[in-house]
Structures are given as C-alpha cells and as structure tokens.
Structure 1
C-alpha cells in the first residue's frame, strides 16, 4: 500500500499514544500530511516529531474532543495549515472507572460518554462540512469489540463504543452519495497504555486478557492502524458503514 495516501491530509485524535500514534505514523508512511491531536501535549508533540523524523509533514494541535470549541479549532487549524482534510481517524477515548452498572457513578458515566461518544460526534460534525466542500473524504471512528459484546464492569465504555457503531452507520447512510465514506474499527485487546492501565502491569491480569484472544496474544496498535489506513484508501472505495473487527478472533467465539 506504499504511497496509497500520497498528497492527502489526515487527522488523528488521541494521536499521542497507542493506536492513535500508530495510525498517525501509518498515515505518514502512506504519504499523507498528518494533523496529530491529543489532550496530552507531550505525547502528541512526540508523535509529530516521530513523523517529521521520517521525512514527512506533521503538526500537533492540543484538543479536548469533548469540547465543541476545541474540535472546531482543531479542524480549522488543520485546514488553515494544509488547505484541506481528506482522512480522519476519530480515535480519542478513555476506559473510565471499573464498576458494575448499578455502581457506576454519574460522573464516570458522563465523562466516558462525553469523550468517547460525544467526542466522535463532534469530530464528524466539523469534519464533514469541510469534506463536503471538497466533495469527498474518508472517516474512521474507533469503536471496540466492547461495542459488539458485553464486558462486566464497563457499562459506560460498552455503551459509548456501541453508540459509535450506530453513529458510524447513520453518518455513512447520510453521506455515502456525497462522496464521504464513514467506517469504524473495533479493536480487540491491544497492547496500549489503556490496557496497561487496566492490567496495572501485572502478568496475571495480562494473562487473563490473552486468554480472551483465540490468537493467543494481544494485538498491536500497528495491526489496527493498517486497517484504519486501508479503510481511508481508495482500495476501500465501496466500504461504507462497516464496523471492521480487528480482534484476533475474540468476537467469533
């Protein structure tokens, strides 16, 4: 796929680490200019530097995707910097606190939904008008296998990720005839800082996660990034509204 996005401009939210960083690097490898967005400045700036070190173009923009003003500024900065926006990976998200449905606090529920689900909606709200002006574009939203199957003690996270799938399908239907393709990726258990926080770095907890995976291992951010880049490329020109599972077989059980 080398050079599949040559001359394109790609935006990645949550680009400071994990899947977002891998996606940003993959977009750059394929020839895109990359706008890296994250609320964490250090990680986001580091990703942008990593891209520049490979000889490609990148800019970092600090943005909290749960705030409309931040997202509007993010999209306007991307367009002001590179004159257009061709691809967007709306990836920023958090796991929230672990608790059963009855014990989940309202504060935790609101925070997870605001970042994971409202954040994806806000990104599309401002990305889509720009893509319409250009008469085309591709959007990939990060959902999860937790949007397809239930997980104990993660009610807000599961709800947010399931909502992303339905939001993706809705937007795909609305804009398919207008040149904008909207899809989602549903990662399984991927070796990211989020998973490391959940396991606390303890081997026994990691082993439990590995036990969920028929592949017998955790996935890598790069494996998810390959799916994201493909969905944004012309090779996926007839793929719309699809929640692509990248999970080592987890939901096939």
Structure 2
C-alpha cells in the first residue's frame, strides 16, 4: 500500500476491537504512528501488538472517553510521544437500553449519551486545540446509519449519532480556515465478531439483512477503516463537514 500517511501521527478511540481496531491497523499500514486507545487494556494492547507485528508503529493509552480529563490526557500524551496530532478517529460509543423509550431506564439514556456524544465532544474539543498549534489536521467521527435514519428501540443511540452528524458540520464551519477538516463515517451493518455470532445463531435473520442491502454484501470492519484512512490522507483534502455512509447503499432507500 502507498504510504499515504507517512510522517503523520494521531489517535483512535475504542481501538481495541471491531471498527476501531481496523481503523488503527489501516492507518498504521499507511505509514502513520497511531496512539491506540481503549477502555480495555488487554484489547488495546492486542491491537498494538498486531500493528507492530505488521511493521507499524503504535502505542497504547487507556481512556474512558466519558471522562473529559482522561480525553485531555490522551491527546496530550499523543502529542508528547509523537510530537503532533495530525489526525484523530473518534470511534468510541455504546448502545445501552435497547427498549422502547417509554420503558427505558433514564440511566441508560444518560450513559449512552455520556459515552457516545459527550465523549465525541470532549475528543473534538481537545483535538482541535492540539491541531491548531501545528497547522491543522483531520478528525473523523464515527456516526452510524442510525445517525441518518431512525432506529426503533435505540432512541439514545440514534439521538447521539444524529447529534454527531450535526456536530461534525458545525465544527467544519468553525475550524475550516484553520486547516482542520472534520468528517464522519456512518457504518451500516458491519461484519464484526458479534455479527458473525448472530449470523450463526440466526441465519434467517442474517439472510434477511443481506437482502435489504442493495449491494447484497455486508461491510467489513476493514471497509470502515479504509475510509477513515482515506479521509485522514491528503487525497481527501477538500472533503470537509460531510457524513459518508459505508453500508452498501442501505441508507439510499429501501429495496422493494
């Protein structure tokens, strides 16, 4: 692969598994130095191990993004070790309380927004302040197909992901002239280990999901990570303030 990110450095939150891990690996393969962050030390260090075994450069920093001081420490440590922050993938998010809103425990609402929305806000806040000092950078937020259309029984997750889409647009307007680009990816159903287990346990439901995707194929975590890598590169230098669905065409409309 062409080293599109040679000489660049940055961070990925929730990089211990799934899309975050794939993103960190893709960024490192493109030549970047990557600060791998996760709330799980074991999972995060495993991602670092994979990157290093493939000739990449990475370090680990534990961070709970719902705590602003930990997020600030993550950004500060990335700059301290690598010298600058050229990119960031704000990937952390949770989906607590998957029930109808009238049956929802308010604590699940608060927890989902605290991690998914507030965590993204804290990350952007401290990332832009670091990037301004070195002439700019690229920020990628993980939104979701649930940030483009409604999803039943996932009100807090859907609300937080819609908010991330709007937050991305606002920050693009605020910092574009200071050399900072900010975009979001909107993953649809993505073939992670959890989806693989679900497919094995519920093959008919999995088949139905595939039939609802225009491409007939579910995205992989690597598909998501490759788009993050592209958006962090100079090839995407004029892409700013947009949300890119990576879902095989699912959110384009419904198949008959």
Fold shared, TM-score > 0.5 on shorter chain: yes
Q: Is the 8 A contact 2:198 2:206 kept in 1?
A: no
Where do residues 66-85 of structure 1 align in structure 2 (5 Å cutoff)? 66-85=66-85
Rounded to whole Å, the distance in 1 between the matches of 2:76 and 2:230 is 25
Match of 1:204 in 2: 204
Tell me the secondary structure at the aligned position of residue 37 of structure 1.
strand
Rounded to whole Å, the distance in 2 between the matches of 1:73 and 1:191 is 32
Match of 1:42 in 2: 42
CA shift for structure 1 position 196: 5.7
CA shift for structure 1 position 4: 0.5
Rounded to whole Å, the distance in 1 between the matches of 2:104 and 2:210 is 26
Match of 2:27 in 1: 27
Rounded to whole Å, the distance in 1 between the matches of 2:186 and 2:198 is 18
Match of 1:106 in 2: 106
Rounded to whole Å, the distance in 2 between the matches of 1:233 and 1:28 is 12
- Relative distance call for 1:229 and 1:155 in structure 2 (3 A) is same
Match of 2:233 in 1: 233
1:192-229 Cα deviation digits (max 9, x unpaired):
24546877943234334323322223210111111111
Rounded to whole Å, the distance in 1 between the matches of 2:199 and 2:104 is 19
Rounded to whole Å, the distance in 2 between the matches of 1:197 and 1:167 is 33
- Relative distance call for 1:96 and 1:197 in structure 2 (3 A) is farther
Where do residues 1-253 of structure 1 align in structure 2 (5 Å cutoff)? 2-193=2-193, 195=195, 201-253=201-253
Q: Is the 8 A contact 2:14 2:38 kept in 1?
A: yes
Structure 1 gap segments, 5+ residues each: none
Q: Is the 8 A contact 1:33 1:56 kept in 2?
A: yes
**Count of residue pairs the alignment pairs up:** 253
The worse-fitting range, judged by mean Cα deviation, of 195-204 and 101-110 is 195-204
Rounded to whole Å, the distance in 2 between the matches of 1:28 and 1:39 is 20
The worse-fitting range, judged by mean Cα deviation, of 97-106 and 162-171 is 97-106
1:91-147 Cα deviation digits (max 9, x unpaired):
011122210121221011011111111101000111111100011100000000100
- Relative distance call for 1:40 and 1:78 in structure 2 (3 A) is same
1:21-74 Cα deviation digits (max 9, x unpaired):
000000001100000000011111000011111112100111000101110111
Structure 2 gap segments, 5+ residues each: none
RMSD over equivalenced CA pairs, Å: 1.6
Rounded to whole Å, the distance in 1 between the matches of 2:98 and 2:169 is 28
Q: Is the 8 A contact 2:143 2:162 kept in 1?
A: yes
Rounded to whole Å, the distance in 2 between the matches of 1:217 and 1:226 is 17
